[in-house]
Amino acid sequence: MRRHEPGRQRPDAYRYSVRLLPVVVLLVAACSGGHDSDGGGPSGPSPSASPSTAPPLTQQQGSALSTRLASGSEDDLRSAMGIPPGQVLDPAALAGLREAGPVSFDMATFQPLDATHATVVGRFAHPPAGQPAAWTFLLAWSDGSWTIVATEPVR
């Protein structure tokens, strides 16, 4: 990998990647927090207490997740991602998601992983220049709803 030389302007792709970094960090942080160990978190309840696959993501649930992600509201983002109230959120992440959204989830790509986790591909309507529109979202089923716990660009 080529190192950046002092005094030279960084390429646009780098600058936009840095702008989205708080969003990605936020999504990864949500993956590691916000779930309790009473069976409602990513590990889920014991296999004997639940079905072997997660329930499907409905169009209504996908629309609700998209609305909460793109609203610009801290409470909505916490709800969509299961982020606990004490965890600090970067205001730039809220603004970045609001500007990039809404997200259209492709229900045909929904893949259950186990009784409490699944993946689905979503496309941001207005991704920043140089950033992908399509992302794979890792979802967790808890308390009767889906939350986003991680994302990565579609490969």
Q: Is 102's pLDDT higher than 80? A: yes
Domains in the chain, CATH or no CATH each: 13-33+52-153 (3.10.450)
Whole-number pLDDT of residue 39: 40
Whole-number pLDDT of residue 51: 59
Q: Is 29's pLDDT higher than 90? A: no
The candidate with the shortest Cα–Cα distance to 76, out of 41, 101, 112, is 101
| pLDDT tens column, 103-133 | 999 999 999 999 999 999 999 999 998 999 9
**Residue 2: which pLDDT band, with cuts at 50, 70 and 90?**
very low
* Per-residue H/E/C for the chain: CCCCCCCCCCCHHHHHHHHHHHHHHHHHHHHHCCCCCCCCCCCCCCHHHCCCCCCCCCHHHHHHHHHHHHCCCHHHHHHHHCCCCCCCCCHHHHHHHHHHCCEEEEEEEEEECCCCEEEEEEEECCCCCCCCCEEEEEEEEECCEEEEEEEEECC
| pLDDT tens column, 12-27 | 443 333 344 344 434 4
Q: Is 8's pLDDT higher than 90? A: no
